[in-house]
Every structure is written in C-alpha cells, then in structure tokens.
A = this chain, B = another copy of it.
Amino acid sequence: MTSILTSISSTKSFGGWIKRYQHHSSSLNCDMVFAIYLPPQAETRPVPLLWWLSGLTCTDENFMQKAGAQRMAAELGIAIICPDTSPRGLNLPGEHESYDFGSGAGFYLNATQAPWAEHYRMYDYLTRELPELVKAHFPLNGREAISGHSMGGHGALVLALRQPGRYASVSAFAPIANPSNCPWGQKAFSGYLGEDRSSWQQYDACALIASGASTQELFVDQGEADDFLATQLGADALQAACKQAGVPLLYRHHSGYDHGYFFIASFIDDHLHYHARHLKEAGQ
C-alpha cells in the first residue's frame, strides 16, 4: 500500500531541489507534510538519505531554511529528509496550549495514553511508514543516517539505539539525552506514556545505552552557552552512560555557542562529512 504524495512546492537549491509534500499518514491518522532535499546527483543515480529530526515548535521548514545544509549535501551527494515534529491538523484537548507538549512536540514516541495514543505515534511514522513512502517515490540507495537537534537529537539517538544496524551513523546537536530526568521530558513522557516510569526507558537515550541496546558510535555537538544545557539536556548523564556501557561517544563542546540554528549552521558541515563517510563505508 503506497500513500499518495501531493506536491506542495519544489525549489531549486545548490543545483538540487527542496521538495515539500503532503500525504495521509495511517500511523498518525492525519495529513502530514515533509520536505526532502534531493542533491544534483539524484538525477542520475540513487543517493543515501540523512534523516533530520527537528526540535520543539519546528516544522519541516526550519532546518531547510536555516541550517545551510544544502550546500554540503549537494557536494557530498546526500539527500536530507525533514519530517514534521508531531501530528498536525487535529484539535485534541490541550494540544495547542504549550510549546513543549502536543503539536510541535511529538517527542518521536508512540503514545499510550488517551487521547494521544490515537495519533501521536511518531516512532512508527518515522521508522516504518515514512521510510517506505520515500523509498517508493525517490531515487534512494537504501543507506540511511540520522541526526537531529534538541528534541530531535533525542529522537535521533533513540531511533538509532533501538534499531541497531539500521543507520550507518547517528549524530545530534544539543540532544535531550536523558528525558526521564528533565522537565521537558518528564512533562512529555507523563502525558504521552503515563506515570509508570518503566515505560519511559525505551525512549530515554541514557537508559537505552545502560541497557546495552547498541554500541554504535554517537557523535554529539553541544554549545557551552546553551541556556538549556544545565536543566534540560542531560549532557553529563549521556557522557557517563556511554563511558559506563563502553559506547564510543564523539562529544564536542563549543565555547560561546547557544541552542539555536546559528549553532547548528556553524557545525552542520562536520556532521554531513561524518555521515557521508559512514554512508560510503556502509555501501562497500
């Protein structure tokens, strides 16, 4: 079963194309929009795909507009897909009341609590439905990598840790690495998963690492002037968990950089080079 893609726009960028589509998601029971950047190489051969998961309040547009990733993606021949950050077009009770829960804040999990469980299934959407959809419609070679920012960094780490071997590489900018132990994560997990904290572990990167879920290397960039570093991100817990479990962690901290897109733009080329190297090795 293949969903129908409705084209929203197609915009040339660095010799490739940023394409936005709407489609009906059966996982989420609503219509969704995503964007994909196809580098120039995609016109003549299948290319690898980098998943980019965005942070709180974002849509498919923020990364494409602000990260400046297309230049290097065009040079390296990597497609980039930017999904939305939650189901859309619904009107569940309280869904649009806060920036850190509900719309724009899906936290890349499968909710189990009413009324969220009927729609908030971003984990299934991103690991099964959307991959099948893009595989059917675009010239992709089947090799995937994943990255993301903040809530999307959490998503990238969790999706990689729970599917060892799927992604050639995984990286994150300022991820919410230990959501069970920070206000953003506790609010989201309580609402979507309920108060039984044992159900939270499958969506907590630090808990997954401690459980031995995967030993794949993790690449994380963190700004030292990030306003959320001390209270929300769990950077120390991530480093401790990796050390304890023997998971290789390439962790860089950058003096003066904050939590925003200017930080991402400053280092996105390093991430693209990192993923390109692993995607190439995965094909050999």
A: which residues have CB within 8 A of B?
11-15, 18, 65-66, 68, 70-71, 223, 225, 256-258, 260-263, 265-266, 269
Contact = CB atoms under 8 A, between A and B. Distances in A.
Contact of A265 (B13, B225, B263, B266): B13
Contacts of A266: 12-15, 70-71
Main secondary structure of the interface of A (DSSP, over half): mixed
Contact of A258 (B12, B71, B257): B12
Contacts of A262: 11-13, 18, 70
A18 to B, nearest CB: 6
A12 B11 CA distance: 29
A263 B15 CA distance: 10
A258 B11 contact: yes
A129 to B, nearest CB: 28
A44 to B, nearest CB: 16
A18 B257 CA distance: 11
